[in-house]
Structure 1
Amino acid sequence: MNHFYKLSLFISFFCINHLHAQSLAPLTVEKIMRDPKMWIGTSPSDITWADDSKTVYFNWNPDKNPSDSLYAYSLAGKKISKVAPADRRRMPGKNGIYNRARSMRLYEKNGDIYIINYKDFSIRQLTNTTERESDPAFSGDETAVVFERSNNLFSIALASGLVSQLTDFKTGTKKADSKPGDQEKFLKADQLGMFEVLKERKGKKDAGKKVTEADKPTRPKEIYLGEKNVTNQKASPDGRFVTYGLTQTDKSAKSTIVPNYVTESGFTEDISARTKVGAPLSESEFWVYDVKKDTARKVATADIPGIHDKPDYLKDYPKLDTAWKKKERKVIFHGPFWSDNGQHAVVIVRSLDSKDRWIMSFDPATLSLKLLDRQRDEAWIGGPGVGGYPQSAGEIGWLDDQTIYFQSEVTGYSHLYTFNISTGKKTALTSGRFEVQNVVLSKDKKTFYLITNEVHPGEQHVYRMSATGGARTRLTHTPGAHEMTLSPDEKNLAIRFSKSTAPWELYLLDNAFAKNAQPVQITRSVSPEFLSYPWREAKVVTIKATDGQDIYARVYEPKQSNGKAVIFVHGAGYLQNAHKWWSQYFREYMFHNLLTDKGYTVLDMDYRASSGYGHDWRTGIYRFMGGKDLTDHTDGAQWLVKTYGVDPKKIGIYGGSYGGFITLMALFTTPDVFAAGAALRPVTDWAAYNQSYTANILNEPQADSLAYRKSSPIYHAAGLKNHLLICHGMVDVNVHYQDVVRLSQRLIELGKNNWELASYPMEDHGFVEASSWTDEYKRILKLFEEKL
């Protein structure tokens, strides 16, 4: 045995034993809060297919570089390779628009428009300008490409390359032509009557002007926008009409400022941030430009069924209820979405108060709207494929020239429907106590690929179903979550899969044999160090709530209990975490393993308003945040006492963002349930949060003050009895640091001395620095170790 071999063997033996020693060492906050790409690994993301379906592309970082790189997996060679920068620059752009035969695809790349022909996969560049061209689409006869440049629509003929301007939107207002006064008119008439030469010359000039006007090419009508912005410009398939939106921002809406203290300049720098809920909303209009008639007309909304409906919550405010006048509620239009033959169009209209969504047929010639489907919700419209905000159209498309498909939560769960615009028949393609969470239609429009949670709310699986509905073929079977990207030739599925103890990896599934085939794993991203610890698979359970509902939850069981428990509250409100796949709260997941090692029982609940459980669960917090969502957690605390023998005086609670808000409400309004809590970046007053999220749930503060009073922790701060830790980033542009400053002053004035605030000068809402994560969670651990 030579010296080099002995040395190599010694080094290998040392490394293996060192790694084993690491696995035996207890978890620490410092260990789990390190940069995840340096010690856990980086999962593949942003999965796309090559146009020839022979290669899968994805972002990945197995080399622990500062940022991810593009990688490719060859189906023929069964190998992964890193894509060179030069090759990446030559690649076609992602996504784009297909022609009806799917033999060509349009896409934008670096502000220019390209078209790829699938006969030979040749690529033709259609524009090359310093301006940005975007949103390419085929004309109705597919002989031209329509695109947007500088807020106007243009078309380029594929045969000749001729570029034509379709609209002429201009900012500001048109200057009025000056008209001569009586004196000028008299002098001009007098001159022409007196001098024959002047009269002859004027005649020649007028005749020449007529010839010039006759020879002048047709140009689109000048449309002056004033102070409004043009959006969503679309040409009809026959080119006869251009539809567009006009929006005007109310200048009285005041924006907030977030001070940034630690800067390169050494001076405090202000970050301009969002408005607060209740600020004046932008006005939105829907217009049609008739190219043939050279006219622009606004689409009226007064006859939309229910446009004047009064919200139910006004019953709690007799004066407002009585004062309500029959006024049109503000709406926003999405579309139009045209049938393949260009004969029919539908639009989705959303009310800005989020209580209505109308799907309507639309005739641009007459500006008429006809109701196809209406969903009304006294809370707010939402759910998978529906869209939780007025600015979202949701899932919609055409199966054939008479039939649209869309999703609706009308039965209480988001399902897939079709509607025949000729017969008026609406058909449910799916039904049951589960959600359709993703929809992809095959290129021949005969098959839907769906992702649903029908097996279990905590699992997401891929199904194949006829476009007419009926039985679904389940294509994935391993418990966890599956994300699907269909290859262009539809022969393979690229699937991202994860389970609760392992991050996302990339798999391939043969579509022809998908029903019985097992996905083939392509990537292995997780480091040996991460795998050296036996991460727990939390038990997914249901807990009976006070009102009889089942709360899904994850529980981490210690081998030997110390009689203490911690309840984690996920953020975002409408988010799911009691599931069987890798959590986006992976740091918290590791922290829960650390706590369990120490003997704590940890509970992680999908409380009221969490996603994945249908309409009633989603809207269970309407007009009262800190109501059912909090009692779900107090029910969870009682369940821990009964089921695991936890000491009722040794239960802690913590969470970030919405989880921080619930923590505050828990300590302020149910102080005898929780002995200690850590509120991370919490909302303290909902009147200080944003419009799109808050107004859905609580309406606007000036209209529904009762809802804000009940739901905002700052009004309940006097109830604090036990120990509170608050952690907040000082450059948080989502939940502003001002929130916690105001609460601090309130606690000071109330004489409370059992709380502390940790501020992070360089962190936004989501922390990025390992040092900040470490400091925050060392404080949380110290709080529970000392106060429970």
Structure 2
Amino acid sequence: MTRHSALAVAVCSLVLAGPLQAKKAEPQTYTTNSISVPAVYQADSSITLTLEQIMADPDWLGRQPQSAHWSADSTQVYYQRKREGSELRDWYVRPLTTADSDSNGTAVALANLHETGSAQAVYNLDRSLQAWVFEGDVFVRAMNNDSGTAAVKQLTRDNAVQSAPEFLLDGRLAYREGWTFYAQDLTTGARTELASLKLAEKPKAPAVPGGYLAQEQHKLIEFVALQQNNAEQRYQARQQLQQQNASLAPAAFYLGKDMQVVSASLSPKANYLMVAVRKATKRNDKDIMPNYITANGDIAAEPVRARVNDVTPQPQRILLLNLQDGSSTELSYTSLPGYNDDVLAEVKAENAKARGEKYKSAKVIRDIGLMTDWYWSQSAMRWHSSGEHVALMLKALDNKDRWIATVDLQNKTLVPQHRLHDTAWVNYAFNDYGWLNNSDSLYYLSEESGYSHLYVKPLKGKAKKLTSGTFEVSDPVLSSDDQFIYFKANVAHPGNYEVYRAVLADGKTEQLTQLGGNTDFTLSPDEQKLLLNFSTNLLPNELYLADARPGAEVTRLTDTVSAQFKQLPLQAPKVVAVPSSHGKQPVFAKVYYPADYQQGEQRRAVIFNHGAGYLQNSDLGWSGYFREFLFHNLLAQQGYVVMDMDYRASKGYGRDWRTAIYRRMGTPEIEDLVDGVNWLVANANVDRNRIGTYGGSYGGFMTFMALFKEPELFQAGAALRPVSDWAYYNHAYTSNILNTPAIDPIAYERSSPIYFTQGLKKPLLINAPMVDDNVFFQDVVRLVQRLIEQENINFETAIYPVEPHGFRQPSSWLDEYRRIYKLFEQNL
């Protein structure tokens, strides 16, 4: 075998239209980049999986590393690990030089936690200084390259909360408290206020009150007139002192009453501050969720998010604040291409026609703001390291456009650099961007070709595409010398994520890992090594180390999987490509086979519907649905065939796969389920009349839609924490796909299960947590009432009084899956 992973080759060979011969699992390893990764442990074939074990507290699986980051000197790794029997997490340190390859490192003493740095640590230009925040205080580490030692200095120690540390070009360190920005001299310790943002109206000079009586009072009463004069003089004197005495803090910027700061970004030269503001919205007191199980025995009205039907997003104003002269300029959006397009004209016309009206399209100023979606944690404001340029990532609040624009600081205008338009919606993923360090060029991700790819664009030139193909690029990391952009991509197979880098000098791409599963990475501060977080379908994530170059040897840093888990006789699901009857692209799916599935009578089958909608579960890494993975193995042990499909809307397969559900959620996905059933019948010896389905959240929604709209497709289904009416879900997610109920009620009625309940003919189990602040319990209550009014007796409901969207109690997990198992056993 060459450097290509045997596992990757094996997995690719599994993408077949027909069934696979099931073989007895034997312990083996897959050779990957000179590392031996256990694929199947020393399994004990006599072990019978049980629901009691599967649904127990997951500590029994092992407690895998989380939130790993590098030490500043690139010689060791810090990571968190769950404390056994507790929800608390402890920090561990794993030196790279540890001789014992099985060592998981040692726990970091509480007294030393402030020295560990942070994944969000920042560096100065020559990377000799590192800064981070620990428990609201700012720390700086000065690296001594000669001795290899590092000195840690605490800059703040108070009850204020500091955040957003940033090295300035003059050597000072800036940070903010609330929305007040400070710079601290690292030599003298002197702290200077740079700017303060006040959410109030700017104070005005004292003026004589209006009205007849007030005017006469000042004319007739000398004392009143004198007091007025004194107040005016004091105000003017303060203004003059502020302007002429440099020892005073600069005047605050007043942004207006009832406003809210969305984001702010300080220039490395500390001469400008970019600020985004919007009108503050008050929380609706009616957005509550009853909690019936409380410590004091009362019913608590817990606050929850608003429904998409009730949200009106506020447009943002982008302000350029000059910290040298105190001026403030609002930047106009009118230079952005399409800023006034009526992008929803067809949608509005269709809905108007349904009301018996006619819609007349017209140019309209669109609501625009920073790209600050819940999914995206990066800053949408990016300064070049020189402080000479700043870029903004902006989006239309109708979700159809995303722009990258730079700011002409002299003329105080936005200069468009890139527009991404989508007639469906612009993805909330794949929006990473930034500046090259040594030129005035931007790099960014864009789905404009149909897949997320990497581009570089000079300010006054055309964009250059660095990657190309039917795969998705994510998580780009630029090297400090602008030589490479490291990234993650699923090039060889949609479910196989490896690490690559683009060579900016010649545009070539180099593959750095070939591990054959799911690999995330973090580049070391010295940019010589990669910290890898790798997993397979059978191997939970562990930490690995490799040099940042092609073909490097990979070393395992952690082994946290329990001995009990390693003994389980688990099968890795086979990844198959199910031909689609509604497009050229197949539907990738995992299939779990019984050992003797081709023998005897036709088999029972279950199709699992993953949640989140935009999520990938038929990949080659360890699944976040680990309980479901074990449950599917249990079902396979008992003779079931189980399929887990990445239906349309799933992540990993490009823009068109994602947007296929635009304005018709629950239609393409159910078409894919139909294809999945047909494939099982034709290829896996499955009885068409003995197939069930289940899933949670979005998967629960799909279970509803399948049983309501295709009543003969499945013989039974379980909908867990399901969405029944999208008008009750959140704004950030739902408005992307269905617009809003006020604009597009057709899409909501077409996509919401509550409108199709009359189609239920087969047994349905509805499991609903009562303190779910994601999919409200109200969703189930309303749908159940509708079924009752329709005199439908084909359903039963189980409620979980103390559980949120993701269950926390093992007893709840066990009860839920006992009911699911019973449903399938009784009806399949």
Partners of 1:395 and 1:210 lie apart in 2 by 42
What is the CA–CA distance in structure 1 between the aligned matches of 2:553 and 2:225, rounded to whole Å?
Answer: 93
Determine if the alignment matches structure 1 residue 369 to structure 2 residue 414: yes
The offset of 1:731, in angstroms, is 0.3
Deviation at 1:302, TM superposition (A): 3.0
Match of 1:556 in 2: 592
Q: Are residues 214 and 267 of structure 1, via their aligned partners in 2, closer, same or farther at CA, if it must alter by over 3 Å?
A: closer
Q: What amino acid does structure 2 have at the position aligned with 1:284?
A: Q
Query: Any conservation in 1 of the 2:609–2:693 contact (CA below 8 Å)?
Result: yes
Contact residue 182 and residue 191 of structure 2 kept, 8 A: yes
Select 2:463's aligned residue among 422, 426, 430.
426
Query: Please, which runs of 5 or more residues in structure 1 have no aligned partner?
Result: 1-18, 387-393
Question: Which of 124, 148, 151 is residue 153 of structure 2 equivalent to?
Answer: 124
User: How far apart are residue 96 of structure 1 and its match?
Assistant: 2.1
2:175 aligned with 1:154: no
Partner of 2:444: helix, strand, or coil?
Answer: strand
CA offsets 1:266-300 (integer angstroms, 9 cap, x no match)? 01101100100132223421112223332222222
CA displacement at 1:326 relative to structure 2: 2.3
Q: Which of the pair has the greater relative contact order for Cα pairs under 8 Å at 6+ separation?
A: 2
Q: Which residue of 2 aligns with 1:289?
A: 321
Distance 1:191 1:726, change over 3 A: closer
Secondary structure at the aligned position of 2:79 is classed as: strand
CA distance in 2, matches of 1:291, 1:75: 45
Shift in Å, 1:443: 2.3
Change in CA separation of 1:564 and 1:325 when aligned onto 2, cut-off 3 Å: same
Which residue number corresponds to residue 412 of structure 1? Answer: 450
**Residues 100-123 of structure 1: per-residue CA shift (max 9 Å, x gap):** 111212212221222221225222
Classify the secondary structure of the residue corresponding to 2:77: strand
Matching of residues 107-122 of structure 1 within 5 Å = 107-119=132-144, 120-122=149-151
Tell me whether 1:602 sits opposite 2:642 in the alignment: yes
Distance change (3 Å), C-alpha of 1:186 and 1:568: closer
Q: Distance in 1 between matches of 2:175 and 2:734?
A: 36
Which deviates the most, 239-248 or 755-764?
A: 239-248
Task: Write the distance in 2 (CA, Å) between the matches of 1:708 and 1:590.
Answer: 35
Question: Which letter does structure 2 place at the counterpart of 1:274?
Answer: R
CA pair 552-143 structure 1, distance change in 2 beyond 3 A: same
How far apart, in 2, do the equivalents of 1:473 and 1:21 lie?
A: 37
| Residue from 655, 664, 667 that aligns with 2:695 | 655
The one-letter code of the counterpart of 1:731 is V
Matching residue of 1:437: 474
Q: Which moved more, 1:346-355 or 1:66-75?
A: 66-75
Q: State the alpha-carbon separation in 1 of the partners of residues 493 and 369 from structure 2.
A: 36
TM-score, length-scaled by structure 2: 0.86
3-state SS of the aligned residue for 1:738?
helix
2:389 & 2:277 partners in 1: Cα distance? 23
Q: Secondary structure at the match of 2:491?
A: coil
User: Is the Cα–Cα contact under 8 Å of residues 220 and 291 in structure 1 kept in the other structure?
Assistant: no
SS in 1 for 2:527: coil
Contact between 1:383 and 1:414, CA under 8 Å: does it hold in 2?
no
Work out the number of aligned pairs and report it: 751
Deviation at 1:369, TM superposition (A): 1.1
Paired position in structure 2 for 1:390: none
Assess if the C-alpha contact under 8 Å between 2:436 and 2:478 holds in 1: no
What SS does the corresponding residue of 1:596 show, helix, strand or coil? helix
Of 345, 349, 354, the residue aligned with 1:315 is 349
Q: Indicate conservation of the 8 Å contact 2:430/2:452, yes or no.
A: yes
Q: Which has the larger radius of gyration?
A: 1
- Deviating more after overlay: 562-571 vs 524-533: 524-533
Separation in structure 1 between the aligned mates of residue 203 and residue 477 of structure 2, nearest angstrom: 50
Q: Summarize deviations over 1:413-436 as a string: whole Å, max 9, x none.
A: 0000000113x2210010111111
The one-letter code of the counterpart of 1:603 is: M
CA distance in 1, matches of 2:267, 2:242: 29
Q: Which moved more, 1:523-532 or 1:713-722?
A: 523-532
The match for 1:402 among 440, 443, 463 is 440
Select which of 326, 332, 337 maps to 1:305. 337
> Secondary structure at 1:661's aligned position in 2?
helix
Residue 67 (str. 1) matches residue 105 (str. 2): no
Q: Deviation at 1:518?
A: 3.3
Amino acid at match of 1:464: R
Matched, 1:145 2:173: yes
Report the Cα offset of residue 214 of structure 1: 7.6
Work out the CA distance in 2 between the residues paired with 1:379 and 1:768. 36
Per the alignment, in what secondary structure is the counterpart of residue 358 of structure 1? strand
Residue in 2 that maps onto 1:229: 260
Q: Which amino acid counterpart does residue 521 of structure 2 have in structure 1?
A: M
1:626 is matched with: 666
What is the CA distance between 1:313 and its match in structure 2?
2.2
Which residues in structure 2 correspond to 1:249-268 (within 5 Å)?
A: 249-251=280-282, 256-268=287-299
Q: In structure 2, which of residues 160, 163, 183 is the aligned counterpart of residue 134 of structure 1?
A: 163
Tell me, yes or no, if structure 1 residue 585 matches structure 2 residue 625: yes
Q: What letter is aligned with 2:401?
A: D
Alpha-carbon distance between aligned partners in 1 of 2:773 and 2:175, rounded to the nearest angstrom:
34
SS in 2 for 1:624: coil
Shift of the 601–126 alpha-carbon distance from structure 1 to 2, 3 Å rule, reads same
Please tell me whether the aligned partners of residues 438 and 481 of structure 2 are also in contact (alpha carbons under 8 angstroms). no
* From 119, 123, 132, the counterpart of 1:98: 123
Is 1:540 the counterpart of 2:575 in the alignment? yes
- The DSSP-based 3-state class of the residue aligned with 2:820 is helix
CA distance in 1, matches of 2:697, 2:336: 38
Q: CA deviation at 1:473?
A: 2.3
Mean Cα deviation higher: 732-741 or 528-537: 528-537
Selected match of 1:479 from 509, 516, 528: 516
Q: Which moved more, 1:158-167 or 1:599-608?
A: 158-167
- Return 5+ residue gaps in structure 2 as ranges: 1-40, 372-379
CA–CA distance in 2 between the matches of 1:477 and 1:725? 43
- The 1:224/1:491 distance shift into structure 2, 3 A limit, reads closer
Distance 1:639 1:137, change over 3 A: same
Aligned to 2:77: 56
Per-residue deviation at 1:21?
A: 12
1:515, 1:208 → 2: CA distance? 67
Q: More displaced, 497-506 or 586-595?
A: 497-506
Counterpart Cα distance in 2 of 1:375 and 1:121: 45
Greater alpha carbon shift after TM alignment, 408-417 vs 107-116 = 107-116
CA distance in 1, matches of 2:696, 2:820: 12
Any idea what the Cα deviations from partners look like across 1:331-383, whole Å, max 9, x if unmatched? Answer: 11364322222222221111111110011121244321111110100111116
Name which of structure 1's ranges 367-376 and 292-301 shifts more when overlaid on structure 2: 292-301
1:336–1:362 Cα contact (<8 Å) kept: no
- How far did 1:211 drift? 8.9
Q: Tell me, yes or no, if structure 1 residue 353 matches structure 2 residue 378.
A: no
Give the structure 1 partner of residue 26 of structure 2. Answer: none
* CA distance in structure 1 between the aligned counterparts of 2:296 and 2:234, rounded to whole angstroms: 65
* Aligned-partner SS, 1:647: strand
Shift of 1:506: 1.4
How far apart are 1:66 and its partner, in Å? Answer: 5.2
**d(CA) in 2 for partners of 1:321, 1:52:** 66
Question: CA shift at 1:159, angstroms?
Answer: 3.8
> Which residue is equivalent to 2:49?
27
CA–CA separation in structure 2 for the residues paired with 1:214 and 1:418:
44
Give the residue type in structure 2 aligned to 1:458. G
1:10 alignment counterpart: none
2: CA distance, partners of 1:435 / 1:21 = 35
Q: For 1:176-195, what aligned pairs fall within 5 Å after superposition?
A: 177-179=206-208, 182-183=215-216, 186=219
Q: Residue 701 in 1 paired to residue 741 in 2?
A: yes
Residue from 607, 610, 621 that aligns with 1:570: 610
Shift of 1:509: 1.3
The range that moved more, 371-380 or 488-497, is 488-497
Opposite residue 298 of structure 1, the aligned amino acid is: E
Distance in 2 between the 1:208 and 1:780 partners? 77
**Aligned equivalent of 1:5:** none
Distance, in Å, in 1 between the alignment partners of 2:236 and 2:349 is: 71
Compared with structure 1, are the counterparts of its residues 91 and 246 closer, same or farther at alpha carbon in structure 2 (3 Å cutoff)?
A: same
1:212 Cα shift?
A: 6.2
Shift of 1:645: 2.7
- Distance across 1 between alignment mates of 2:110 and 2:670: 51
Segment drifting more, 485-494 vs 209-218: 209-218
1:238 matched to 2:238: no
Query: SS at 2:520's partner residue?
Result: strand
Corresponding residue number in structure 2 for 1:163? 191
- What's the CA shift for 1:234? 2.3
Q: Partners in 1 of 2:286 and 2:434 — Cα distance?
A: 34
Query: Deviations 1:601-635 (Å, cap 9, x if unpaired)?
Result: 11110000000000000111000011111100111
